[in-house]
Amino acid sequence: MWPLPDRPLIMGILNVTPDSFYDGGRYARLDAALHRVEAMLEEGVDIVDVGGESTRPGAEPVPLEVEMERVVPVVEAIRARFDVPISVDTTKAAVAEEALKRGANWINDVSALRFDPEMVAVARRFNAPVVLMHMKGTPRTMQENPTYTDVVAEVHAFLRERVAFARRKGLARILVDPGIGFGKRLEHNLALLHHVDRFGELAPVLIGVSRKSFIRMLGAGENPEDRLEGTLAAAAWCFLKGVRVFRVHDVGAHRKFLKVLQAIAGGAA
């Protein structure tokens, strides 16, 4: 799956955590996680993103051994049963390495290779595509009064530096994520989405807006369960602005929605 195909890719979220903001606890058991992967494959998922540590605002860090126990058996079981690319959503090099050994393919690092100095070596050893995301602070602190002078310029500069760093370290398969909701107020999220095409100058763009709280702030869904329409509206804008990968909870809805949108944008079915 590299270089990326000329069509939108759907990255399905599989949180094997008890406390993620939307689906925490639903897929913590191995059988539930596998049933979810099977359903996502039927809905047309391209990549399954397995995460064992919640990054919702205010979340506390998870000890290494706990995250390892959550993630590694699930990755191993998915690889044994299904033919699908697997991403591991982690900032810990040891978790990424063990997951890659058991069949994962991508690393999705919300710290953009900053939290664990060993992550670069792991990515290089496995030649894994790496998602570099912008976040202000840590998940526990990121929403404590985030401020910017020019959010688009500052996030762009951060990601430009992280891409350059990754390339100097020998990584070539890189994606960038502006980090919607990670240390941003509503106005910051809207500005980043409005100018999301600018980040495509750096690398292919992955976007994660699925059911996030900025949709509630716009009056388009009080609870996460009510935010699908708002999520799809943001996905439409991002697709038209050149975003390549969509990290989502609702695989089937996005696959159908983006198939129609791509056909219209291309002028043919």
For residue 60, the 8-state DSSP code is P
Q: Which of 211, 212, 227, 244 is catalytic?
A: 212
| CB neighbours of residue 67 within 10 Å | 22
Q: For residues 78 and 50, is the Cβ–Cβ distance under 8 A? A: yes
Is residue 31 included in any domain, yes or no? yes
- Residue of 263, 262, 210, 268 whose CA lies nearest to 239: 262
Q: pLDDT per residue over 235-262, tens digit each?
A: 999 999 999 999 999 999 999 999 999 9
- Residue of 47, 19, 22, 180 whose CA lies nearest to 107: 47
- Residue of 51, 86, 85, 49 whose CA lies nearest to 67: 51
Is residue 58 included in any domain, yes or no? no
Across the chain, mean pLDDT equals 94
Q: What is the pLDDT averaged over residues 81-110? A: 98
Looking at residue 137, its pLDDT comes to 79
Measured between alpha carbons, how far is 170 from 125 in angstroms, rounded to an integer? 10
- Residue of 211, 2, 17, 179 whose CA lies nearest to 108: 179
**Domain with 231 in it:** 9-52+64-262
Is residue 269 included in any domain, yes or no? no
Is residue 57 included in any domain, yes or no? no
Give the CA distances from residue 141 to residues 5, 42, 137, in Å, rounded to whole numbers and listed in that order: 36, 38, 6
Looking at residue 55, its pLDDT comes to 80
Q: Which of 162, 227, 247, 255 is catalytic?
A: 247
The three-state secondary structure class of 114 is: coil
Measured between alpha carbons, how far is 37 from 91 in angstroms, rounded to an integer? 23
Looking at residue 247, its pLDDT comes to 98
Number of domains in the chain: 1
> Residue 241 catalytic?
no
Looking at residue 156, its pLDDT comes to 98
Is residue 2 included in any domain, yes or no? no
Indicate the pTM of the whole model. 0.94
Q: For residues 12 and 251, is the Cβ–Cβ distance under 8 A? A: yes
Measured between alpha carbons, how far is 81 from 198 in angstroms, rounded to an integer? 39
CATH number at residue 32: 3.20.20.20
Q: What is the pLDDT averaged over residues 31-38? A: 95
